[in-house]
Amino acid sequence: MDTLSHLAHGFAVAFTPTNLMWCLLGTTLGTAIGVLPGLGPALTIALLLPITYQVAPEASFILFAGIYYGAMYGGSTTSILLNTPGESATIVTALEGNKMARSGRGGAALATSAIGSFVAGTLGTLGVAFLAPVVVKFALAFGPAEYFSLMVLAFITVSAVLGSSSVRGLTSLFAGFVIGMIGVDLQTGQPRFTFGMTELLDGVDVIIAAVGLFAVGETLYMASRRYAGKDEIVPLKGSLYMTAAEWGRSWKAWLRGAAIGFPIGAMPAGGAEIPTFLSYAIEKKLSKHKQEFGTVGAIEGVAGPEAANNASAAGVLVPMLTLGLPTSATAAIMLSAFQSYGINPGPLLLTTQANLVWGLIASLFIANVILVILNLPLIGLWVRLLKIPAPQLYAGILVFATVGTYGISQSPIDLVILYLLGAAGFLMRRFDFPTAPVIIGMILGPLAETQFRRAMTISNGDWSVFYTHKLSLILLTLAFIGLAGPHIWAFIEHRRRRGPEHVPGDA
Amino acid sequence: MLNRRRFLTGTAAVGATGLAGLHFTPAFAEGAPQIQIFVPAAPGGGWDQTGRTIDQVLRSEKLISGSQITNVGGAGGTVGLPQFISQWNGKGNSLMVAGMVMVGAIIANKAANNLTQVTPIARLTGEFEALVVPADSPFKTAADFVAALKADPTKVPVAGGSAGGSDHILFGLIAKTVGVPAPSLSYVPFAGGGEALSALLGNQVAAGISGFGEFSEQVKAGALRLLAISADKRQDGIDAPTLKEAGIDVELFNWRGVFAPPGVSDADKAAMITLVETMAKSDAWATECKNRNWTPILLTGDDYAKFVTEDTARIEAILKDLGLA
């Protein structure tokens, strides 16, 4: 049997009324937990594991798949409306999404993220169905050297969020490195920057940092500006959904986001954050509306990263279904659900459990459709949140951020960190330091460090691995072009316009 | 379905596993307790599987009404341990999964906290380790691997779990036994089994050392080749020699067990030991152990405490020998 007939069979499994009901339940639940910071799909599925004793394997995996995809949709809502990311994969969405919401285009931001999620989720699921064996080979070719080069490439995204001054932006980035380094070093087990505090040994959760810097910092800043009459939120301007122009700007970003997200999601150490960073940087570079980035909010900056994080969620399923390799917490828990049915997840899963796997893939397509139907009408309801008067709205955000943070690990220390970072976020905002590079530094810094040290251990200290490995060299070259390209281009343009005899020394 | 069948044969099973099971059941019959399981590792690895299996069996045996699993991963459990000690202090309904890996990591990392600060409940399982290579590796036998290691250890990067853990210890023991100096070894620590596995499948490293269970499916599928296992004797259904048979005089069992937090009452401790003991003697637990290639090696309370102390001393000596501590 070929892929198509397998897939048709999968749809036959997924299209029974009971299984559709499980799918609807899963997607609804997933959307709800995605909205709440601190409650992720991994934890939710872990809590629902006992259900595997009660229902057929198909039903429980369809439920889990619904939760998994649903959380990816829900996570962007609070990022856009409240600047409070529910998942680390939606941190980038907050950058432009929240700016759009403040200037009256919250509905469009939510719509582009929902439709973009649908498009990318569907493309990603198609990728799982048709390309899995190819993609997994490519993904496994990524070793520590390649990952490090990928991180280097991701670092150029920092230049997209630096703001008006590179010095201020880089200061923020390095502050992020330091925060990211707090805790026990994975390679040697030594504590760093913990000042003898046990609570700091696990490091600072990136969600807490994002919520602190973005939501709490912003709220404090708004409170300080209450009577200056600045930064009023415009609840809604123009149509609720996207205009034709916004569609035109979104669709390419969705496709690019999906193309970046899927392969990186399939890599064992790829994750969902890096593709969102890369997508954001690319959209900003390619956009004809650069002036909207960081001011009124550019729709490409929402559409791309949202598509990227949903496509990467589909990508994660590739190593899980083809090799039995869990590359995210959610995948690991879904694999342990396989085991509770006595199914050994491994390279033989696809052949021994074809019904189950293809039923799962078919249900992912259905989940995507249900999610977009579920989410679009909700937009009208969500944007009404912004009609709440500012003081009440911001008080609500503070409560939401605090409760969500406490929910992550029930640790009071996390609340102290949240408000310390909130205060830092306020000061940064007040003195015009961008906050996004801190988060990028926190996520990329430790990843790059670990992969670099692994690569060096494997090569026995030989630096050449970074340019003798073909993939690594390609990635480094791309990073170089990304960084130096615009300057070289500007130099050439400059010369062409002024003529060769006027070569300025400061190009 | 499984539950009902077990329920029907339940009385006989309890009787067969000893009166103890019957005797202690009433203590939990009235409002079966909720428990909390603390896993100081990321989801997916050996401790996580142990924690989730404990949870499953306790539930299916109706010994608890529910449980919550918390994962705090990193550095061989030394990230999670301090949190368990400080934040879970006195919580009598809590269990932490830990084992030999944590003992090694505490020593190698010179961690501030150690296992004498928590309350030993029971040693549950042991797992022998496996030495594997990617399917298209030039190493066909353990002897090939050893020859390459002797020729130039820096050219043989080996992937495994966190620094100072059982995988690292076994690698050091193998090297020491065949006369390769420990500091020259190229060991690449990964946070979890999944990550090390992908490095092997992607031919990023020359070999891998981890619990047999983490590799068994890939070995079955032909993606990895099993060179040797660290068990004391040849195992049924496993087509590979022990290290001893392969001429490397090393034997290692990676044990796993559970601990309660510090500051729990004697009553809570006794009840927890009973609970875990009842679970470990159930058929469901035996089945799970068989499925997962775990050897049941139950040891509880004070005997377990004594074992942990002795094993800590043994591992410390090994790590010092190897230059890891």
The alpha-carbon gap from A204 to the nearest alpha carbon of chain B, in Å, equals 12
Has the ipTM of the complex gone over 0.95? no
Q: Spell out the residues 6+ positions from residue B183 whose beta carbon is closer than 8 angstroms to its own.
A: B323
- Specify whether B185 is located in the same domain as B102: no
The alpha-carbon gap from B122 to the nearest alpha carbon of chain A, in Å, equals 23
Is residue B74 classed as helix, strand or coil in its secondary structure?
A: coil
Examine residue A464 and state whether it is found in any structural domain, yes or no.
Answer: no
- Specify whether A432 is located in the same domain as A473: no
State the residue range of the domain holding A312.
3-459
- Specify whether B292 is located in the same domain as B201: no
Closest-approach residue (CA) in chain B for A337:
B52
- Specify whether A132 is located in the same domain as A257: yes
CB pair distance less than 8 Å for B48 and A332:
yes
Alpha carbon distances (Å) from A235 to A98, A227, A300, B131? 12, 19, 21, 62
- B82 interaction partners in chain A (CB closer than 8 Å): 198, 201
Is residue A165 classed as helix, strand or coil in its secondary structure?
A: coil
Q: Give CA–CA dist B43/A305, Å, rounded.
A: 27
* Burial per residue of A45-63, b for 16 or more beta-carbon CB atoms within 10 angstroms, e otherwise: bbebbebbeeebbbbbbbb
Considering only the beta carbons, identify the residue of A46, A189, A319 that sits closest to B69.
A46
Q: Spell out the residues 6+ positions from residue B232 whose beta carbon is closer than 8 angstroms to its own.
A: B242, B244, B251, B253
B203: buried, middle or exposed (CB in 10 Å: 19+, 13-18, 0-12)?
Answer: middle
In chain A, which among 435-494 make CB contacts under 8 A with chain B?
A: 454, 457-458, 460
The radius of gyration computed from the CA coordinates of chain B, to the nearest angstrom, equals: 20
- Specify whether B121 is located in the same domain as B133: no
CB pair distance less than 8 Å for B195 and A268:
yes
Last residue of a domain, one of A421, A441, A459: A459
Count of domains forming chain B: 2
Q: What is the residue type of B180?
A: V
Count of domains forming chain A: 2
In chain A, which among 199-258 make CB contacts under 8 A with chain B?
A: 199, 201-202
Displacement of CA B228 from its chain's centroid (Å)? 18
Q: Give CA–CA dist A45/A289, Å, rounded.
A: 41
CB pair distance less than 8 Å for B157 and A49:
no
Q: Give CA–CA dist A256/A272, Å, rounded.
A: 15
Considering only the beta carbons, identify the residue of B195, B220, B291 that sits closest to A269.
B195
Closest-approach residue (CA) in chain A for B67:
A47
Considering only the beta carbons, identify the residue of A184, A327, A411 that sits closest to B74.
A184
Considering only the beta carbons, identify the residue of A198, A348, A458 that sits closest to B221.
A348
- Specify whether A435 is located in the same domain as A492: no
- Specify whether A89 is located in the same domain as A225: yes
Closest-approach residue (CA) in chain B for A450:
B190
- Specify whether A312 is located in the same domain as A390: yes
- Specify whether A261 is located in the same domain as A315: yes
pLDDT of residue B73: 66
DSSP assignment of A343-391 = ---STTHHHHTHHHHHHHHHHHHHHHHHHHHHHHHHHHHHHGGGGS-HH
Considering only the beta carbons, identify the residue of B105, B112, B204 that sits closest to A144.
B204
- Specify whether A153 is located in the same domain as A209: yes
Whether the predicted model's global pTM rises above the 0.80 cut: no
- Specify whether A302 is located in the same domain as A329: yes
The tens-digit pLDDT sequence of chain B (325 residues) is: 334 333 333 333 333 333 333 333 334 444 567 888 888 876 666 788 888 888 888 888 877 777 788 777 666 777 788 888 888 887 888 889 988 888 887 887 677 788 888 888 889 888 889 999 999 999 999 999 999 999 999 999 999 887 777 888 899 889 988 988 887 888 888 876 567 888 898 888 999 998 887 788 889 888 899 999 998 888 888 889 999 999 999 888 888 999 988 888 888 888 888 888 888 888 888 888 877 778 888 888 888 888 888 888 878 877 877 666 6
- Specify whether B164 is located in the same domain as B225: yes
B interface test, pick of A341, A457, A471 with most B CB neighbours within 10 Å: A457
Last residue of a domain, one of B229, B263, B291: B229
- Specify whether A421 is located in the same domain as A507: no
- Specify whether B144 is located in the same domain as B218: yes
- Specify whether A352 is located in the same domain as A492: no
Closest-approach residue (CA) in chain B for A270:
B195
- Specify whether B141 is located in the same domain as B114: no
Last residue of a domain, one of B195, B229, B263: B229
pLDDT tens-digit series, residues A44-55? 787 677 677 678
In chain A, which among 395-424 make CB contacts under 8 A with chain B?
A: 409, 411
Closest-approach residue (CA) in chain B for A146:
B204
Examine residue B162 and state whether it is found in any structural domain, yes or no.
Answer: yes
- Specify whether B264 is located in the same domain as B206: no
State the residue range of the domain holding B61.
2-126+254-321
CB pair distance less than 8 Å for A333 and B43:
yes
End-to-end CA distance of chain A: 61
Q: Give CA–CA dist A447/A450, Å, rounded.
A: 5
Here the CATH number for the domain that contains residue B118 is 3.40.190.150
